Chain A
Amino acid sequence: MSGPGGAAQVTGPAAPGWRRTHPLGLLARALSYARGAALPLVAAIVGARNWPGGAGAVAMVAVMAFAVNAVVVWLGWRHHRYLVGADEIRVEHGLVRRTARTVPYDRIHDVAIEEPALARLLGLAEIRFETGAGGKDEVTLRYVSREEGEALRETVRTRRAEASHSAGSPTRPGARADAVEPPPRLLFAMDPRRLLIFGLFEFSLVFFAVLFGLAQQFDAVLPFDIWAVDQWQQRAGGPVEVLRGIGLTAQIAAAVLGVVLLGLAGLAAGLIRTVLRDWGFRLEHTPRGLRRRRGLLTRTDVVVPLHRVQAVAIRTGFVRRRVGPDGGWHRLDLVSLAQDSKSSSHTVVPFGTLAEIAPVAAIAGFPLPEPGTRWHRPSARYCLDRALLTALPAGLLAGALAVAGTGWNALAMLGLAALLALRQAMAWRLDRHALSPLHIHVRRGWLAPRHDIALRVRLQTVEIVQGPLARRRGYADVVFGIAGGTLRIRGIPVIEAQRLRAAVLDSIAGTDFAHLSAPPAAAAP
Chain B
Amino acid sequence: MQPAAVPDDLTPLHPDYLKVVRIGWTLLAVPVLIGAAVLEIAGVLPRGAVLVPVLLVAAFAVVLVPPRRYRARGYRLDPDRLRVVRGTLFRSDTVVPFGRVQHIDVAQGPVERFYGLGTLVLHTAGNHNASVRLPGLPHAEALEIREAIRAHVLRETP
Contacts and interface: CB of A to CB of B under 8 A. Distances in A.
Given A505-B81, A512-B99, A463 B93 contact: yes
Interface residues of A, number: 36
Interface string A481-525: 111111000000011000001000100110111110000000000
A337 B95 contact: no
Interface residues of B, number: 28
A459 B124 CA distance: 10
B124 to A, nearest CB: 4
B126 A481 contact: yes
Nearest to A497: B93
Contacts of B125: 337, 460, 481, 483, 513
Contact of B128 (A473, A481, A494): A481
A83 interface: no
A481 B101 CA distance: 12
Contacts of B47: none
B126 to A, nearest CB: 2
Interface in A449-473: 459-468, 471-473
B63 to A, nearest CB: 22
A474 interface: yes
A148 B130 CA distance: 38
A61 B101 CA distance: 53
Nearest to A461: B129
Contacts of A462: 94-95
Interface in B74-92: 80-81, 89-92
A461 B96 CA distance: 5
A480 interface: yes
A463 B3 contact: no
A511 B97 CA distance: 10
Nearest to B130: A481
Given A460-B129, A461-B100, A512 B124 contact: no
Contact of B126 (A460, A495, A512): A460
A139 interface: no
A459 B1 CA distance: 30
B132 interface: yes
B124 A464 contact: no
Nearest to B92: A465
Contact of A480 (B1, B80, B93, B128): B128
A347 B18 CA distance: 48
A466 B126 contact: no
Contacts of A461: 94-97, 100, 124, 126, 128-129, 132
Nearest to B157: A514
A479 interface: yes
A513 B127 contact: no
Contact of B92 (A464, A468, A484, A495): A464
Given A466-B90, A486-B128, A512-B156, A460 B81 contact: no
A483 B127 contact: yes
Given A460-B100, A495-B3, A481 B127 contact: yes
A513 B90 contact: no
Contacts of B124: 460-461, 481
Contact of A494 (B3, B89, B90, B97): B3
Contacts of A501: 95
Contact of B3 (A474, A485, A512): A474
Contacts of A344: 127
Interface of A: 337, 344, 459-468, 471-474, 476, 479-486, 494-495, 501, 505, 508-509, 511-515
11 contacts: A461-B95, A461-B97, A463-B92, A463-B128, A464-B93, A481-B127, A481-B130, A494-B3, A509-B80, A513-B100, A514-B157
Closest CB pairs A-B (n = 3): A481-B126, A460-B126, A483-B125
